[in-house]
Chains A and B, each alone.
Chain A
Amino acid sequence: DAGVIQSPRHEVTEMGQEVTLRCKPISGHNSLFWYRQTMMRGLELLIYFNNNVPIDDSGMPEDRFSAKMPNASFSTLKIQPSEPRDSAVYFCASSLASTGHDEQFFGPGTRLTVL
């Protein structure tokens, strides 16, 4: 069975451009998480969804970031406009139970570089 799928794997863009990161969770999983990883700040939870509903978006840095989960098999994280400080690896993860104590399965990540 396929794991969590993220696209693109690498994205290089210029400051001010819109960036959209995509995630397909493992089929049957009810929770989906977006993380950002940088050397300075480590691994930060940005937002997570239970049954397609956003539960906690307190980690979203600012209004330039938005996330959606239109259905159980797809989620997007959008940055508009992008800035150089957004450069990071963005991970998507999913877990089986909406109660949240199950282990998370991580995707391979999207390495974003904003010039």
Chain B
Amino acid sequence: AQKVTQAQTEISVVEKEDVTLDCVYETRDTTYYLFWYKQPPSGELVFLIRRNSFDEQNEISGRYSWNFQKSTSSFNFTITASQVVDSAVYFCALRSVDKIIFGKGTRLHILP
């Protein structure tokens, strides 16, 4: 069975702090893809990053960085120097063969 767990339901941090959102997944497939999406208060989901199961290289994009570790089946997302505009719900998703599963999401509040 496939599963995506985002254990942190809600996180609040003060602006400029760093914050890490956790994502743990389960799959028996050897080829799969992991995604992060952002859902701001406006409601529309926005793609942030995709990783395939053969590429464990970490990625940095501005203040965002992602840590993919197959050994722990985790794909964590870190925001450095958080800003109020980062306040949103963040979803981790797993895609393999014909299945797509989203985690329950982590609601992130950045306090001014």
Contact = CB atoms under 8 A, between A and B. Distances in A.
A106 B44 contact: yes
B50 A101 contact: yes
A89 B39 CA distance: 13
Contacts of B98: 55-56, 100
A45 B100 contact: yes
- Describe B's contact surface by its main secondary structure: strand
B98 to A, nearest CB: 5
Interface string A17-54: 00000000000000001010000001111001000000
Chain A interface size, under 10 / 10 to 19 / 20 to 34 / 35 or more: 20 to 34
Contacts of B111: none
A101 B43 contact: no
A55 B99 CA distance: 10
B52 interface: yes
Interface in B36-92: 37, 43-47, 50, 52, 91
* Residue among A43, A44, A101 facing the most chain B CB atoms (10 A cut-off): A43
B47 A103 contact: yes
Nearest to B102: A43
B61 to A, nearest CB: 14
A101 B54 CA distance: 13
Contact of B95 (A35, A42, A100, A109): A100
Interface of B: 33, 35, 37, 43-47, 50, 52, 91, 95, 98-105
Interface of A: 33, 35, 42-45, 48, 55-56, 89, 91, 93, 100-109
